[in-house]
Each structure stands twice: as C-alpha cells, then as structure tokens.
Chains A and B, each alone.
Chain A
Amino acid sequence: MSDEPFDRAEFVTYFRDEADELLHRIDADVLRLEGTATSGSPSPEIVNSLFRALHTIKGNAAMLGFADVANLAHGLESLCDLLRTGKMELSALCVELLFTGRDYLTTLVAKAPSDAQPPPGYDAFLVRLGSIAAAELSGAQEPDPASGATAQQTQQSLALSGSGRRPTIRVDIERLDHLLNLVGELVVNRTRISDIASALAAALGDDPAGKTLVESVASLARTSAEIQEALMKVRMVPIGRVFERFPRLVRDIAKARGKEVTLRVDGAQTELDKTIVDQIGEPLMHLLRNCIDHGIEIPPVRESLGKARAGTIALCAYHAGNQVVVEMSDDGAGIDTERVLAQAIENGIVGRDERLSDEEIVQLIFRPGFSTADVVSDLSGRGVGMDVVHKAVGKLKGHFSVSSERGRGTRFEMKLPLTLAIIGALLVRVGKELYAIPLDSVVESQRIEIADVRTIQSCEVVTLRDTIVPLVRLAEFFDVPSPRDPEKAMVVIVSIASRQIGLIVDAFEGEQEIVIKPLSDVVGTVAGISGATILGSGAIALILDVHALAADAYRSGKIARVELAAVQT
C-alpha cells in the first residue's frame, strides 16, 4: 500500500491513544456486565457501549492494516452483537471471553504496527470465539423478528445516554512540554525585568517615562502569569484515567489469591498535571497489589473476625490547597509492628536496643533494604517494594505516608503537587549560597534569640508556642562556610508530615516563583537537594528537598529526636 496518499505512521500514535481509552472503557463495561451476569439479561446500555468501543477499534485497525487487531475486535464485536440482539445469554463464560479478548487486544494494540507474531494462544482464542458464536447462532437460525425491536430500543437508549461533549483537540505532549519550558523562561525573565524596571524608574526620578515603564512591565507580568496558569490548566488531566484500569486489576488479583475485594473509587475527576498522572499509575498499582496480597484477609478469616467477607479498598483523590491527596485505605489486617521490627533488627536497619514508637516502626517499611524477597512472602504485613513507591512519590515531589491499626486496616496517603514545573519558593541565603525552600512546606520564618536555644542530646532545639522544634543549621548540613551569629538566628520552620523542624539560615531573600530544573546526572543526587533554579539575577539557587533533608538529619543524628526527648526529660 505504498501508493497511499496518507502516511500511516502518522496515525499510529493517535490510533494507540484512542484504542487505549477505548480499552479502558471496555474494561469498565465488562466489569459492569459481570455485575449483572446473574440476572441473565444484560443492560442494553452497557452492551451498546461495549459494542461501539470494539467497533471503533476494529474500524481504525482495519484502516491502518492491523489485521490481527481488527480480526479480534470483530470476533468480540460479534459476541456483543449476539448479546444485544438477545441471541445469546450473558454467562460467566461470555464474561471470561470478553476479558481474555480484551487482554489480547491490549497486547496487540501495544505491539502495533510491528509485524511480530501475535501473542501465544491468540489464534486458538480466535477460533474458540468464532466457534462459540457459531454454536449460539445455529441454535437460533431463524432471522429473529424481535431483533428489529431490540435495535429500536437500542437506538432509544443510545439517544438517551451521555451528553454532548465539547470539541477537543489532541496535542502531542512534547509540544506542551516545550511551551512549558518557554513559559518557564518567561517567568524567570519577568522577575528580572521587573527588578530592572523598578531600578530604572528610581534612577529616573520624576520622569514620567519611569512610571510608564513600571506600569507596562507590570502589565506584561500579569499577562505572563495568566499564560502560565492557562498552560498549567491545559496540562491538567483527571486522575481517573489512572483509576480506570484498577477495578479490573483488583478483580484479577483478588480472584488469583482467593480473596473477595470491593474497590471504592472517589474523586476520579480530580485534576493533576499529566506528567504526574502518567507516573502515578505504577506506584498506585503496587500499593493496590500490596493491599490485596498482605492487607485483606481471606474470607473465612474475615468472617471469624466478624468482618464482612469481602474486604474493601477505598481509593480517593481530592484537592488540598495546592496539593492533591491520593488516599488508599483498606479494612484488612493492618501492619504487624512486632514482625516488622523483628525483621528490621534482623536486617540491621534498626539496632537491637533502639526504642521505637509503633508509628516509627510502621515507617520502616519505606526503608530500602527492608523489603527483601523472603521478608515479604512470610510477613503478614506489607513490605513489597514499599521503598519503590516511596521513591517514586518522592521523585514527583510528593510525600508518602502510612498509618496502620492492627486488625483494622492500613491507610496510605500520597500528597502530590499539582504541577512539577513551577513552584513558589522562599529564597534564603546561607554564606554565599542561595537556597530555595518550596513554600508548601514552609510554616513560618522568624528571628530567634540564641539565648532561647536549648540543647537536647547535643542537638539544638527551640520551643515555639509550647512545641519543641529541633533545629538544623543549613551551613553545617551543607558544609558552607558561614560565621555564626552569637545573638540571634534566622529560622525557617518547615513541616514534615506531622513534625516541624527549624532550618537556620543567614538571611531571608524573599518569596519567588521558580522554575525547577533537575540536577543533571553528572552531579548525581545530593542529600536534601531536589533540583536547581535560575533566578532573575542570573544567580543559581539550589532547591531544598525538606523531607529528604530531615530524613538524612535524623539518620545521622544531626537533629534531636524530639519525641523521645520529650519522653525522657
């Protein structure tokens, strides 16, 4: 087909995007069908939706010459046709066929357009599908006079379902990324030009040109802020896109483990930057698998505990300030702190005589090295690659926490930023270096008297409003030469989970929006630093990762363990 006046390759990406969406819809539809399988007659609305999705995949695939995809979609579509014309009963077999077929479709779509062999079992499945459909048909050879009526009903329900969608356009994400980068530069320059304009205006004194300059620069700044905001919105997609595949996943894993699990999803329409949505799927899937594997008990155990046979996993997303919170909680067994601690001691993560609160023990599951393969299999709590999830969330500048109650269940919480590219930050100076502290973790900044600083376990703390706040001298943490002020200190209080710590700096340099540039691989990862930014002045500021910084400080004993200290004093 080399004489085609259109370029096939050009459409393959679009084909895959659309097919992915449709495959999710197929999943959801088959799941809903399975729910009604016992009643025998499926809802025409669901079957029609399923039929259309398969039909569209078939048509698109055929146009692009993906014969395997088209053939399979055609076979499944025929099955749906039998269902919707009432020539075939909805049975467990039928649901199984649809699920299996859908899996083959997914594999094939991902492979297209490679001419590789279809996945093993594909041909046999196709034959089976065809023969089942044929067997059903031969049982009802007569052209069914009722099918006309069914079609009529079908059309009615079609007309009723759904509402008009607004026209949309698909854009390659790379173009948006490029645009975002450009806007990033704009934001940087906006601050710089504002500074210059103010300086010039001051130098010009009473000359009206100065005032005009400042005004027009301000207007420019407003417009660029609006562009930035609008672009952010363009990149926002509902997190539900990720959730869509979970009902099926939960069903499959639960079935394989002989467990009964109900998944409740809430807040699927909550919007996040596409990059984050794309990268949050894997970690969430990991968590789900863990909840089912290790959290939810098998039905007899649950019944003996007086719980419902089926465990419940609740997945919900919501906005909280300029963050999005994704929660996953289950009503399973909870984390067995004694066994986690025992395992942690055995693995040498925790010293034998260390005293840890239950809450601290639970956090151990995030430690790399905790989750070795054989820990996991016989540990009735969790552990499978939790450090992987922790790391993935950290990479997205998010925060991941867990709380658990024995016998009642476990709750994981991810706090994610709305966007990755531009954040508000407090700039501080330490020696000659500039650091940017993300505003979302800053509680307050203030001046304290050195006289108020006490020492616990040879670490400095200060009492603020009846709370003991451990202090970290950034100059010492980063090994930056800076003379100590004997009388006073500038402190930025940041919150980490439920704790607060104070970072001692030399000076506050104001708030600013910054564009995050990741540190290059050459530099490698530096504890407590998540990236860098270029300021309006052209200077470079390192962006603090307060969670990593606090964790590192706790580990190395540079910071007081206030919880323990409070108990001991």
Chain B
Amino acid sequence: MTRRVLIVDDAVVMRMMIKGILAKSGFDVVGEAQNGVEAVEKYVELQPDLVTMDVVMPEMDGIAAVKEILAHDPSARIVMCTSMGQQALVVEAIQAGARSFITKPFQPPKIVETLNKVLA
C-alpha cells in the first residue's frame, strides 16, 4: 500500500528535497502546501496518510495548522519539521497533537525512519 504524504513548508527548496527523499523511499507525495492555510485546505481535500509540517511559515504557522487539522480529523498523523533552536515550539506542537518531529538538517534515512514509525 502506498503511503500518501502532504508536504508543508514555505521554502521551495526544502519541499523539493523532502519530496525527492520520500519519492525515492516509496512514499507517494500527493500534495504540497507553502503555509498553514494551504496546509489545512490541502489536508481536507487530499486526506493524506501523513503530513510533514514546517513550523515557521507565513499566514498561519505550523502549530496553528496542526491544531486546525486535528480539529477536522483527530486521527491525522503529522510530523513536525523544525530547525535547530526551536525545542520550545516542538513541545508545543506535540502537545497540540503532532505525532513526532524531525530536526533540520535531517539525514534522509532519519526522516524515512521517523515517518515509517509514525505510520506503523
């Protein structure tokens, strides 16, 4: 069964890189969003199995987006992608209902491993 993923990040390069890694590891990237508002819209539209969520984004940040998505679908699986120095935000995101997190810069095997664990 292919696992359908929605990638949320405001950086084009980051989306491309994550997409590249996931595509080569058997995930099906079904959509991309560049801010929280888009993330919520795309989630509702695509109903992906998994979301990778950046934290710092314009319009609506990742944590607010996690809350909105979970309000819509309490079983949503969301993995936060954070940069160094944002531990406080990670805690907030996990409290809000994110399943796990990875810290940029991540090693490709690490993200695949984390996503697999969350989907298991």
Interface of A toward B, CB cutoff 8 Å: 1, 4-7, 10-11, 14-15, 18, 49, 51-52, 55-56, 58-60, 62-65, 70, 74, 78, 155, 158-159, 161-162, 164-165, 170
Contact = CB atoms under 8 A, between A and B. Distances in A.
A64 B83 CA distance: 13
Interface residues of B, number: 30
Given A52-B56, A74-B84, A164-B38, A5 B24 contact: yes
B46 interface: no
Contacts of A11: 13, 16-17, 20
Interface in B8-50: 10-14, 16-17, 20-21, 24-25, 34, 37-38
B60 A14 contact: no
A1 B14 CA distance: 18
B13 A18 contact: yes
A345 B107 CA distance: 69
Given A14-B16, A59-B83, A63-B17, A162 B59 contact: yes
B58 A60 contact: no
Given A6-B108, A52-B57, A59-B11, 6 more contacts: A11-B16, A11-B17, A14-B12, A63-B13, A63-B105, A161-B58
B14 to A, nearest CB: 6
Contact of B14 (A59, A155, A161): A59
B24 A6 contact: yes
A10 B16 CA distance: 10
Contacts of B21: 5-6
Interface centre among B20, B54, B60, B105 (most CB of A within 10 A): B105
A23 B60 CA distance: 22
B85 interface: yes
A158 B13 contact: no
Given A6-B17, A164-B38, A158 B60 contact: yes
A164 B13 contact: no
B1 to A, nearest CB: 21
B90 to A, nearest CB: 15
A63 B64 CA distance: 25
B3 interface: no
5 contacts: A1-B107, A52-B57, A60-B13, A63-B106, A159-B60
A325 B14 CA distance: 38
B104 interface: yes
Contact of A62 (B20, B59, B61, B105): B105
Contact of A158 (B11, B25, B59, B106): B59
B13 A52 contact: no
Contact of B83 (A55, A159, A164, A170): A55
Given A56-B10, A59-B11, A60-B13, A6 B59 contact: no
Interface centre among B11, B16, B54, B84 (most CB of A within 10 A): B11
B38 A63 contact: no
A62 B17 contact: no
Interface in B91-115: 104-108
Contact of B61 (A6, A18, A155): A155
Contacts of A55: 56, 83
Contacts of A5: 20-21, 24-25, 108
A55 B17 CA distance: 17
B11 A155 contact: no
Contacts of B12: 14, 18, 170
A55 B104 CA distance: 11
A162 B25 CA distance: 35
A65 B105 contact: yes
Nearest to B54: A59
B16 A62 contact: no
A55 B10 CA distance: 10
Pairs A-B, 8 closest by C-beta atoms? A62-B105, A6-B20, A56-B11, A60-B13, A63-B105, A5-B24, A55-B56, A15-B13
A159 B59 contact: yes
Nearest to A56: B11
A165 B41 CA distance: 13
A418 B107 CA distance: 46
B56 A51 contact: yes
A158 B105 contact: no
Nearest to B56: A55
Nearest to B24: A5
B117 to A, nearest CB: 18
B108 A4 contact: yes
Contacts of B105: 59, 62-63, 65, 70
A64 B16 CA distance: 12
A52 B24 CA distance: 29
B9 to A, nearest CB: 8
Contact of A59 (B20, B34, B61, B104): B104
Interface centre among A6, A18, A165 (most CB of B within 10 A): A6
Interface string B69-86: 000000000000001110
B13 A62 contact: no
Nearest to A14: B13
B64 A155 contact: yes
A143 to B, nearest CB: 10
Contacts of A165: 34
B83 A62 contact: yes
A159 B104 CA distance: 25
Contacts of A159: 59-60, 64
Contacts of A65: 105
A58 B34 contact: no
Given A6-B24, A74-B85, A161 B13 contact: no
Nearest to A55: B56
B11 A60 contact: yes
